[in-house]
Amino acid sequence: MVPIDEARAAKLRAANINPRTGLATDYLNHFNEAVMLLEMVPDMPECAEDFLSWQPLSYGEHFHASNFKARDLAIESYESADAIIRAEFDNITSAMTSILTAVGNAMRQAKQDKTRATLAEQATGWVKPLVALAGGIINGGSEADVDYIMTH
């Protein structure tokens, strides 16, 4: 394992970027917003229109469009993150984007609120666990970490 430059680690922590993974949880807000809108659809069918305005954004696109103070640092840190961690993270965020895009397309085709509500409930059930999994990757969670914590 490469030793962490303490000054850089402190700068990343201050920016709410995990120094070990180089990833920021702020990106998950993009998906949490879509989930929140989907959760409202069964009780408020008009929220489907709000969900349909959600657009997929890559990690870099999200930070470029955000007011995140350290957005350049977040993008640079992501780009220099460990390739294995980043690939695992990207696979999960790609799956979430695919699900949300497919559900959006299906909702546009659906004419009945009941159908849209069912789609929203299914999508929420699929995406929420993936958001949690992505959060675990950002925060550096793995079996090795659990073993380390349990032995120290």
pLDDT tens by residue, 40-66: 999 999 999 999 999 999 999 999 999
Backbone angles phi and psi of 24, in degrees to 5: -115, 135
Q: What is the pLDDT of residue 7?
A: 86
44 lies in some domain: yes
113 lies in some domain: yes
Backbone angles phi and psi of 83, in degrees to 5: -60, -35
Predicted model pTM: 0.86
9 lies in some domain: no
Domains of the chain: total = 1
Domain interval for residue 146? 25-64+82-151
In angstroms, the CA 132 to CA 106 distance is 25
56 lies in some domain: yes
Q: What is the mean pLDDT of residues 20-29?
A: 94
Q: What is the pLDDT of residue 147?
A: 42
Q: What is the mean pLDDT of residues 120-149?
A: 81
Q: What is the mean pLDDT of residues 72-79?
A: 95
Q: Residue type for 49, please? A: E
10 lies in some domain: no
Three-class DSSP category at 17: strand
pLDDT above 50 for 1: no
75 lies in some domain: no
143 lies in some domain: yes
